[in-house]
Structure 1
């Protein structure tokens, strides 16, 4: 595991040329080692990264994918009679607070928490925090994500303002959790998919390896198609 940040599949949108965004928002994914946990920063929905030997499976929709088709595929991924453990992405209908996560997971092992501060027409970072076992790391995932954002450097004032707003709201315990990565059996995951507030549960094959699959969340605000978040609105001051 690298000791320094590694940029995987960084690709800028055509509309970003010469725009001068900071590194968080120009890269598709940052992998960072911190206190024994890997923290992934997914800034916005960019073009799919090139295939690599590391990420051979994927959880979540691809850029440009129809949301309804993804929901169908997610349901299909839960079919089967095996009782093996599967990695799965849980997508919520609405953003929830970190304090709600233990109950939302229905007792399943939470291995990742996806944090995103929703702001109308402002492209805020999407941050997936890998968590060890137990409820406490999941409950504290907002603070962990805030700390990571605060550690970044910025190339322009708008980027700095977005990071300041993101950090502030995450530290305040906002309802900013968009989804979870969990581990459970297919029967457990099928049951979780029926719970109120759960939009979709997508499972990987049982032989998927931890650390060797990509996660691209389905945000609660996603409509018909997975598209980049607009970034032409004013950044709130608080």
Structure 2
């Protein structure tokens, strides 16, 4: 019952009786003391009723400012993570009665796959997002997170958008290389670094545009029985269940890279690190900088983290030139992060 209805009933039932009693008592010598007493009692009754009616107000979102991490952090043991995640999956009950939509899980693949091959490996399990990178030899390429509910169509479309962005990055690198003047050692080194960045961005654009074998992980949502079936399929490295995940936009997923077997670390980059730019040169914009493997990480200062990885993790601080990976907001068409049935 709403507060207005309660107050209306209080007016109809209580106030007439109080006024009648006040009228009778007010005729005697105690009138000056009776009327204030009746008024105070009436106000107290109204106040208590209003407080009782509003006591069940909805509680705000208590997850604001929290980030959940799922996966293996840089520096952690990959075999230990795989073993712990498999044990968590085996310990899950056959069904989760608290949620009719299933449990979120991070599926890490054994190799880089095309969108079509990834769809075949995952089968009919509802997908929320996929992760990919172009595995160029000895180069640290960007890890992208793509909202993809329908495989392979959503992944192919998003990879085309990433390719267009990489084309713009390559053009920007070349323009900056051409703007560097002088023949000193610092100028030559800076120019070489810009040209190298343009080559990597152009190679990434070509790979994504052709539907490369770049996908190596996915976020799915299903019942434990279905998750165990996915874990047993060829090409699946491990399925890490995350029943604590409620919102994907507040979750950071860090799947292990297929080429790494011992310790998780950023993709190896044999290129020369960027030199200190001369005072006359503009720094590289953050949109063209090399990323870190912490896909979906939030900018500093980071909010409190709920660590859901099966093994202890200590994520190192991101370098100043890190770039946030691609998410659903990079697509021209807005997509919901929740998977479809």
Aligned residues: 183
How many Å apart are 1:210 and its aligned residue? 2.5
Instruction: Find the aligned partners of 2:245 and 2:199 in 1 and give their Cα distance.
Output: 42
Flag the 1:232–1:224 CA change in 2: closer, same or farther, 3 A: same
Q: Which has the larger share of strand?
A: 1
Instruction: Find the aligned partners of 1:134 and 1:54 in 2 and give their Cα distance.
Output: 32
Which residue of structure 1 lines up, in the alignment, with residue 108 of structure 2? 91
Q: Which of 70, 73, 82 is matched with 1:59 structurally?
A: 70
Q: Deviations over 1:103-138 (max 9, x none)?
A: 222201111111111122111111111124565213
**For the pair shown, which has the larger CA radius of gyration, 1 or 2?**
2
Instruction: Find the aligned partners of 1:203 and 1:71 in 2 and give their Cα distance.
Output: 11
Which residue of structure 1 lines up, in the alignment, with residue 153 of structure 2? 136
TM-score norm. by structure 1 comes to: 0.69
Which residue of structure 1 lines up, in the alignment, with residue 238 of structure 2? 200
Instruction: Find the aligned partners of 2:116 and 2:151 in 1 and give their Cα distance.
Output: 13
Which residue of structure 2 lines up, in the alignment, with residue 26 of structure 1? none
How many Å apart are 1:225 and its aligned residue? 0.2
- Unmatched 5+ stretches in structure 2: 1-62, 177-193, 273-341
Flag the 1:107–1:54 CA change in 2: closer, same or farther, 3 A: farther
Q: Which of 197, 203, 211 is matched with 2:249 structurally?
A: 211
Which residue of structure 2 lines up, in the alignment, with residue 120 of structure 1? 137
How many Å apart are 1:141 and its aligned residue? 3.6
TM-score norm. by structure 2 comes to: 0.49
Q: Does 1:228 align with 2:239?
A: no
The answer as to whether partners of 2:72 and 2:256 remain within 8 angstroms in 1 is yes
How many Å apart are 1:233 and its aligned residue? 4.9
